[in-house]
Structure 1
């Protein structure tokens, strides 16, 4: 899963870097030559729509989404494991909801042959197909994680459920920061 996460992060990074280059070119063209590429804002919207599910997948796999650890660290082990399981199931449920919504939107776009209300008049099926693909990536990642959490819970492997699906402890975060500091020095 780490390779999967890294590939999603690289894809997002390349897409955002390319978008930054296009925005920089647009800015220079406007300031120096009073000319616009017309549609960079459209590309930005597509990049966010396509990139967001990739970021969601990375956050899910890396367990780097924001959590309120104050209550979690005070819970008994069994309740911690149960909340970790519920968290994985809730994230998978959200991913399924987003996937169903995205499929509906893409079907409607295809049915009506919708185009963007921009100078490029882009057939919306193209960016929405990419959006559907990345939403599928997030959904598959979330489902695999939820299935793994369920398997660990059914097997009674509480330690693995706590380790793999729980937030980092203060000690873990401190250790990670210190090793990062050491690597930079």
Structure 2
């Protein structure tokens, strides 16, 4: 069951990271066109900076699940590497727990903000007058998927630790070794 959820989560995170990447490229193009129009013709698209801010927040949230599944989150590993594998596996679980302690309340606050935006149909105080519930809904969706992913990875890591599968804990939550990064070709998880 957990393996099926993990496989589905890998697929979903890949789709989300592509969507976020494409949106970032689109935002960069929009800002570029806006700058060129402003410099050459003294006109502006208007709202390029606002839209790029929304895109950045959403694409970042969409990338979080991919990062945790591919073990691409940044960690200071100078003290971690020389430790025995059993201690590293416990630290890997503590690291996941630390992320949860930060992101679960943050996601709850995003939810409360989104509810308020819908209730009052809050709009941005810019010329675009963007209904904030639209970008906030996408941002919240990315954060919610990340929290679900984080919970799934945590549960799998704990189950593997209880079973004594230290290698399995490393494979789902540990800092990738240099060999693993070279084998994967993408600087992340090979599987």
Q: Same fold (TM over 0.5)?
A: yes
Unaligned stretches of 5+ in structure 2?
A: 1-8, 187-191
RMSD: 1.9
Contact 1:23 1:40 in 2 (8 A): yes
**2:80–2:88 contact (8 Å) kept in structure 1:** yes
Question: Of 127, 130, 136, which aligns to 2:144?
Answer: 136
Please name the residue that 1:165 is paired with: 173
| Separation in 2, partners of 1:125, 1:169 | 41
Distance in 2 (alpha carbons) for counterparts of 1:122 and 1:9: 24
Alpha-carbon distance between aligned partners in 1 of 2:166 and 2:134, rounded to the nearest angstrom: 44
Query: 8 Å contact 1:5–1:62 — kept in the other structure?
Result: no
Residues 95 and 142 of structure 1 are in contact (CA less than 8 Å); yes or no, is this contact kept in structure 2?
no
What stretches of structure 1 of length at least 5 have no aligned partner? Answer: 181-185
Q: Which has the higher helix share?
A: 1
Q: Secondary structure at the match of 1:70?
A: coil
Q: Distance in 2 between matches of 1:145 and 1:164?
A: 7
Say whether residues 1:119 and 2:127 are aligned partners. yes
Match of 1:151 among 130, 152, 159: 159
Paired positions, count: 178
Residue 69 of structure 1 aligns to a residue in which SS? Answer: coil
- 1:113-166 alpha-carbon deviations (Å, 9 max, x no partner): 211010011111111111111111211111111111121122221221123321
Whole-angstrom CA distance in 2 between matches of 1:5 and 1:35: 38
Give the structure 2 partner of residue 67 of structure 1: 75
Q: Does 1:39 align with 2:47?
A: yes
DSSP-derived class of the 2:101 partner? helix
- Choose 1 or 2 for highest CA Rg: 1
Determine the structure 1 residue equivalent to 2:6: none
TM-score normalised to structure 1 length: 0.87
Say if 2:110 and 2:140, in contact at 8 Å, map to a contact too: yes
1:102 counterpart residue number: 110
SS of the aligned residue for 2:78 comes to helix
How much does 1:41 deviate? 0.9
Cα separation, 2, equivalents of 1:123 and 1:172: 44
Q: In 2, distance between residues paired with 1:79 and 1:19? A: 43
Query: Once the 2 structures are TM-superposed, how far is the Cα of residue 43 of structure 1 from its aligned partner?
Result: 0.2
